[in-house]
Structure 1
């Protein structure tokens, strides 16, 4: 039997009597007090249950990323349980790849914090594979050095989301973008990601549920897109991408730190 908590209603006794009568009528008739649209809206925001833990990297010391791969002039250090990443003297952009291949559907969570709000841009790549389905580290693929076009228009396919956007050439952009590579197609202009001036810790949640992609900043949804329309702005981007690798990218002005990466299967 369901429980109804006590409700304090302001207004006249006639108002309360009318409301009570309406509630009784609905209970007898079996009707719903919530409109179908409200139920649909709530369903959209419900995260799927997490399944088994597929991968974890605490980012609390060198051993936690011993088999990760850095492309470009990025440098990592560890302090107070965090992994800091930047490019010394702002030499160039860089991508730090997790070595694991993840399935078509997963939930990934990690913490991130900006350490320099003057400028920067942070991206997560995911579902990354070679154009012919090979591993992105296959010797058959061209070497990569952090140059953006190698990832967005080159010999690997992926999705990417820019969830902190305050680049030197486009300061204070703020909003997140979801793109599909290697056509560099903008699938969705999202909400504000990590605010450009934020120096706070933030929890990032990335959900890939088949062809549906969502990203949350501290439980606030900023991206929600279903990749079921191959032709985008006149370009055939192909079918939805499946499994692949995850990578963290920073532009050369960026100094962020990360901890507690967890990737879960979807049951």
Structure 2
């Protein structure tokens, strides 16, 4: 195991790096005689009104440990309140190889262009794209490569709306050199091979949401392939 975090509540991410107006809470998944398995989970949402603050109401939350290449990343996800969008970053570092938290990089506040067209290199998957009506009409999971906001792979999104969600869903990312694969509850959604001569390697993992989405997370695990 490279990194493991139960994500049972805000204390489990006390050392993570928040960029933007993220708000923390706890979700209790039932108990004896109730639906769910009785365990708690970390709830993440935005602290600013999305209508008033627009694209500056969104945020990113980084795991503080650098992750090597050739890994399997899994976590559990449950949408609680819509609309919104959920995303993860991985293999994130400075465009010239700097550490993600180097003071030489421009400050980041959760504003999306800072991540896809700034001074970072990263891969990111958006997998719960329920922010806009067009996304809800035809739901997809998108893989983009930055710097440059390049859409490099796409697959269908099987996740239901929050009102129909039936417990937590298991997300899995494989990052293996040029190969990236993504699945939900064991259902393969896309696989992509980076054709570039120098594909992104190791880097940092982060969670991102577009407000006003409220969602629960638990059982983050990063292991070698």
Give the alignment's TM-score, normalised by structure 2.
Answer: 0.86
Uncovered stretches (5+) of structure 2, i.e. residues with no partner: 29-39
Whether the aligned pair in 2 keeps the contact of 1:174 and 1:196 (CA below 8 Å) is no
Q: Which has the higher contact order (CA 8 A, sep 6+)?
A: 2
Structure 1 residues 169 and 253: CA distance shift in structure 2, 3 A: farther
- Is 2:186 aligned against 1:219? yes
Whole-angstrom CA distance in 1 between matches of 2:20 and 2:158: 25
Q: How many residues align?
A: 205
- Is 2:71 aligned against 1:106? yes
- Is 2:43 aligned against 1:78? no
Structure 1 residues 134 and 169: CA distance shift in structure 2, 3 A: farther
CA RMSD of the aligned region, Å? 1.5
Shift of 1:193: 4.4
Residue among 82, 85, 107 paired with 1:143? 107
Whole-angstrom CA distance in 2 between matches of 1:264 and 1:171: 32
- Is 2:67 aligned against 1:67? no
Whole-angstrom CA distance in 2 between matches of 1:256 and 1:206: 19
Whether the aligned pair in 1 keeps the contact of 2:9 and 2:43 (CA below 8 Å) is no
- Is 2:59 aligned against 1:94? yes
What SS class does the counterpart of residue 134 from structure 2 fall into? coil
Look up the match of 1:133: 97
Look up the match of 2:159: 194
Shift of 1:196: 3.8
Whether the aligned pair in 1 keeps the contact of 2:27 and 2:43 (CA below 8 Å) is yes
Query: Based on CA coordinates, which of the two structures has the bigger radius of gyration?
Result: 1
1:1-267 matches, within 5 Å, as 53-80=1-28, 81-88=40-47, 89-90=49-50, 91=53, 92-116=57-81, 118-168=82-132, 170-172=134-136, 173-196=138-161, 198-200=164-166, 201-228=168-195, 230=196, 239-266=198-225
